[in-house]
Structure formats: structure tokens, C-alpha cells
């Protein structure tokens, strides 16, 4: 099958029978829901750009498994060039949507499960890699969106999965049958789940023997019986219900997260990728986290490009583009943003081949990349808000601007430079508000902190990967210390 068009993707989601709830109501038509549709548009962009010849090398790749060109989001990395192109693709999509385009988690799960199942089979004589290859080929041929589900609710963080007061606070196997397994539990903060065809479930932490029922990985369609999604609230999300385009900041694109509940969901044998082999849970988590921390050196940089541009436009409209302190702040924003990109490219360039044959990023540099992402976007946001000015959060509504009586007042008192309309000034300020404080902040500011694991999770990995013993020996050698 050829690569889907954006419209074909939209219609494929429309045909699904997902169980989605938002603000206490079941959403029968999420495709056309005004709050949810912008997130679908963001995913659509991953299809639309794949159709354009000028983006073919970034958005698509030749699959050695089906012998066809596939969307890069379904690709298994074959080289360090693939790893770099992944980051470049993510930056491009961030630039085009200024939002989360939601397919990175599935792509990263694809590559982590690919190599982990191979090594699990070698150790246990299982057939998980064969299962995954069958699933992967199906996804590539049908050009599907796959969501990756790792984060469990976790409950009491001081206790292991099996020790929780409620055993469902980590997703688990509750029944093993001849034809498959039955699972219960939930996955939290699931970005893009309502816009996906399939979901890959993974464990969320390294586990011991007592947790073997929680050491499970599999894939099922998102509309499988027993799965339902509870969409989370975002700041300013109901502005999308008002019908205007100014106050939402980014009227076309967005992102959505949901709590995804698995209520006695059946998984057939050929869709299982891990089932009790607890010693491989940590490997899967570490590899997925590494890939996903690499991703932030691309997607957040692309959105950062838009925010930097918006701040510069706001400076123009405020009449201060030549002020030295404004120019210096924009330079600092660019410096921070490009530093994030450097880390994404570096961990890709230093990647190595796994025993399964696909390529893994350098784990140390990937964790350094994400550690920087937990900090730099916050400073970029602060500088953008500084340049924009207080009107970013005190401006009257679009309805006031359109009002027969109030409109002229808004036009008169909120104009910046005389050659720029008040409407355009308000539009750029609302975009900055959206990126730093509104719905897009979930996909930029706050997600920069918590996405792909907390800052402490990266610091733990940096400690593991940093080879401090070697560095101590280097110092002893130079100092001629003999012990």
C-alpha cells in the first residue's frame, strides 16, 4: 500500500470505534470535536509532509523489511544517518505545527521493542521478535499511527508494582490463556492516543521476580474492547469552543493527552512482546527512554524556532527590534535552542548497532540532551514573555475586538507601531501565550520537564553512563598517583 495522504489518515481515524471521554461526556465524534481536532491536525501533518518530494528524505525511508518506502515514524533505524534524520524530521514538524505531533513515542517504542525482543528470544527461546516483526510489517504496509504507552499511574512511588495497595496501579497480566493474555491497569499521560490506530504497551520501570506479571509488552488496536480514554484538561483548552482564531493562539494545531484504561483487555499470543521475563523490563525501559530523550533534541527545537520567531515579531510590532537588550535576548534564545539541537544530533551521530541490527543512540548524550531540555525551554519562554510584554496576558478577547462599540477602543489603545494592525499584534501575542502558558505549553514548556522521564531519571542515567571511574584514573595518571 502507498503512503497514506493526510485526508486518508483522517478518514481512517473516523472509522474507528474508540471510547473517548472529555469533561464528563463520551465523545462520539472526536475527529470533528473542536477541542480535539487540532491535535488530529498535528498528526495529519506527518502524513502531508511525507507526500512532498522536498521532504522525502526526512519524512520517509526505505524499509528493508517490506521493500517499500515507509513513513519514518514506522521505520527501524538502519544507520546513524537514520538517527540524525529522525531528529531533523522532528524539528521540521515542530516548525510546521508549533505543537506536539504525537508520533514520536510510537517510533521510539518501535525501535526499543525491536532490539529488546531479539535479545529476550536469545536468552529464553521465546518468539517475541517474530511477533514484533509481523506487527511492524503490518504497520508499515498500512501506514498506521502507533502510540507508545509506558507511564503507569504508579501509586505509592516508594513501593514496587506487586506491593501496591491497588494492584492495577501498574498495568499487569491478570490471566494467561492458551490463546493469549488478559491485562488490567492504565497508562497515564498518553500523548496522541486518541489519534492512533494501535498502541504498544511497555513496562515503566525495571522489575524483579515478584513483579513478573507486570513485565509485559504487547500491541493492540486502540479500539479494542475494554480500552477507554479519559482526555486531560489543558490550560485555555475551552477557548477552542468559542469559535474565534485569535484567542487560541494556534488555531489549527495542538496536542492531547489521556489516561488510557485497560479493563480486562485480551491480547492474542502473536501480539505479545514480553510476558513475565522481568529481567528484560529494565532493558526495554532504558532503550525506549534513550530514544525518546533523543527525540526532544528535535521536536522541542522546532517549536522553539516558532517561539523565537514570534518573540522577534512581537519586538517588531512593539517598535523595539533594534534595542540592544532585545537583540541580546533573542540571541540567547537562539543559542539555547541550537544547543538542544546539537545534543540531539550528537547522540545520533555517536549511535551504535544493536545485536538485533538496528541502531541505538549514545545513551549518555541522549540523557544530557533531555536534561538540557528540562531547563532551556523554560528560559526561552521567560525571555519570550519578557520581550512580548504584559499585554500577552491582559489583552481583551477577540469578541471585544469584533464588537461594534468596543472594537474601536481595542484598535486605538492596543496598537503598537502605526504600520501594523492591532489584530496582527494581538495574534502574535496570543501565539506566545499559547506556547508558553496555554494548551501548547503542554507540548513545549511543561512537557520539556516531565516528558521522557523526570529530570532525576536522566541524572541517574548520566551517573550510570558517565564512567566516573575512568575519569578518576585519568586524573591519577596525569598526577602520577600510584595506589
Q: How many angstroms separate the CA atoms of 416 and 396, rounded?
A: 15
Rg (CA), the chain: 23
Closest CA to 293 of 353, 362, 356, 245: 362
State which H helix or E strand residue 265 sits in.
strand 258-268
| CA–CA distance, 5 with 51 (Å, rounded to integer) | 7
Distance CA 139, CA 131 (A): 13
Contacts of 392 (CB under 8 A, 6+ apart): 385, 429, 430, 432, 433
> How far apart are alpha carbons 188 and 284 in whole angstroms?
18
Residue pair 69/61 in contact by the 8 Å Cβ criterion: yes
| 3-state DSSP assignment of residue 401 | helix
Give residues with Cβ within 8 angstroms of 208, minimum separation 6.
160, 278
Q: Cα separation of 25 and 40, whole Å?
A: 19
Question: From edge to edge, which strands make up the β-sheet containing 25-26?
Answer: 25-26, 20-22, 227-231, 258-268, 180-187, 172-177
- Grid cell, residue 372, equals 538540557
Residues taking part in catalysis: 100, 104, 191, 257, 292, 296, 299, 447
**How many whole angstroms separate alpha carbon 449 and alpha carbon 337?**
15
Handedness of CA 69, 70, 75, 79 (dihedral sign): positive
Question: Please, which contacts does 449-456 make with residues 24 or more away whose CB atoms are closer than 8 Å?
Answer: 449/374, 449/378, 450/189, 451/191, 451/292, 451/296, 452/289, 452/292, 452/293, 452/295, 452/296, 452/370, 453/289, 453/292, 453/293, 453/370, 455/371, 455/374
Tell me which long-range contacts 127-134 makes (C-beta under 8 A, separation of at least 24): 128/217, 128/272, 128/273, 128/274, 128/275, 129/356, 131/269, 131/270, 131/271, 131/272, 131/273, 132/273, 133/65, 134/270
Amino acid at each position: 500500500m502507498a503512503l497514506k495522504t493526510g485526508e486518508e489518515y483522517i478518514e481512517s481515524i473516523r472509522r474507528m470505534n474508540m471510547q473517548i471521554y472529555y469533561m464528563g461526556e463520551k465523545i462520539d465524534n472526536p475527529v470533528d470535536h473542536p477541542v480535539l481536532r487540532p491535535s488530529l491536525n498535528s498528526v495529519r501533518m506527518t502524513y502531508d509532509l511525507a507526500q512532498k518530494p522536498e521532504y522525502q528524505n526526512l519524512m520517509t525511508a526505505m524499509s528493508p523489511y517490506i521493500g517499500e518506502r515507509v513513513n519514518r515514524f514506522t521505520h527501524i533505524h538502519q544507520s546513524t544517518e537514520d538517527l540524525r534524520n529522525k531528529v531533523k524530521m522532528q524539528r521540521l514538524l515542530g516548525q510546521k505545527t508549533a505543537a506536539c505531533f504525537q508520533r514520536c513515542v510510537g517510533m521510539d517504542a518501535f525501535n526499543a521493542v525491536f532490539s529488546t525482543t531479539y535479545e529476550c528470544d536469545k536468552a529464553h527461546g521465546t518468539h517475541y521478535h517474530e511477533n514484533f516483526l509481523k506487527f511492524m510489517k503490518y504497520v508499515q504496509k498500512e501506514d498506521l499511527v502507533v502510540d507508545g504507552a509506558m507511564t503507569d499511574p504508579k501509586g505509592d512511588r516508594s513501593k514496587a508494582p506487586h506491593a501496591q495497595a491497588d494492584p492495577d496501579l501498574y498495568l499487569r497480566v491478570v490471566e494467561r490463556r492458551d490463546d493469549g493474555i488478559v491485562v488490567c491497569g492504565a497508562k497515564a499521560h498518553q500523548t496522541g492516543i486518541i489519534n492512533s490506530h494501535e498502541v504498544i504497551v511497555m513496562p515503566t520501570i525495571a522489575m524483579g521476580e515478584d513483579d513478573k506479571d507486570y513485565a509485559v509488552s504487547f500491541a493492540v488496536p486502540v479500539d479494542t474492547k475494554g480500552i477507554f480514554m479519559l482526555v486531560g484538561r489543558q490550560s485555555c483548552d475551552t477557548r477552542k469552543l468559542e469559535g474565534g482564531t485569535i484567542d487560541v493562539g494556534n488555531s489549527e494545531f495542538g496536542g492531547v493527552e489521556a489516561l488510557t484504561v485497560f479493563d480486562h483487555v485480551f491480547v492474542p499470543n502473536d501480539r505479545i512482546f514480553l510476558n513475565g521475563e522481568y529481567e528484560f523490563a529494565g532493558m526495554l525501559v532504558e532503550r525506549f527512554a534513550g530514544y525518546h530523550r533523543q527525540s526532544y533534541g528535535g521536536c522541542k527545537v522546532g517549536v522553539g524556532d516558532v517561539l523565537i520567531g514570534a518573540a522577534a515579531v512581537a519586538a517588531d510590532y512593539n517598535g523595539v527590534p533594534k534595542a540592544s537588550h532585545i537583540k541580546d535576548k533573542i540571541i540567547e534564545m537562539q543559542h539555547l535552542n541550537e544547543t538542544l539541537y546539537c545534543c540531539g544530533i550528537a547522540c545520533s551521530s555517536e549511535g551504535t548497532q544493536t545485536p538485533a541490527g538496528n541502531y541505538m543512540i549514545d545513551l549518555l548524550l541522549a540523557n544530557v540532551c533531555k536534561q538540557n531540555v528540562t531547563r532551556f525551554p523554560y528560559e526561552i519562554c521567560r525571555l519570550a514573555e519578557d520581550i512580548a510584554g504584559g499585554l500577552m496576558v491582559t489583552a481583551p478577547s477577540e469578541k471585544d475586538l469584533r464588537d461594534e462599540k468596543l472594537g474601536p477602543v481595542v484598535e486605538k489603545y492596543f496598537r503598537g507601531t502605526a504600520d501594523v494592525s492591532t489584530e496582527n499584534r494581538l495574534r502574535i501575542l496570543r501565539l506566545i501565550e499559547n506556547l508558553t502558558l496555554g494548551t501548547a505549553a503542554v507540548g513545549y514548556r511543561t512537557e520539556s520537564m516531565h516528558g521522557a522521564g523526570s529530570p532525576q531519571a536522566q541524572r541517574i542515567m548520566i551517573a550510570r553512563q558517565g564512567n566516573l571511574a575512568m575519569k578518576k584514573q585519568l586524573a591519577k595518571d596525569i598526577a602520577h598517583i600510584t595506589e
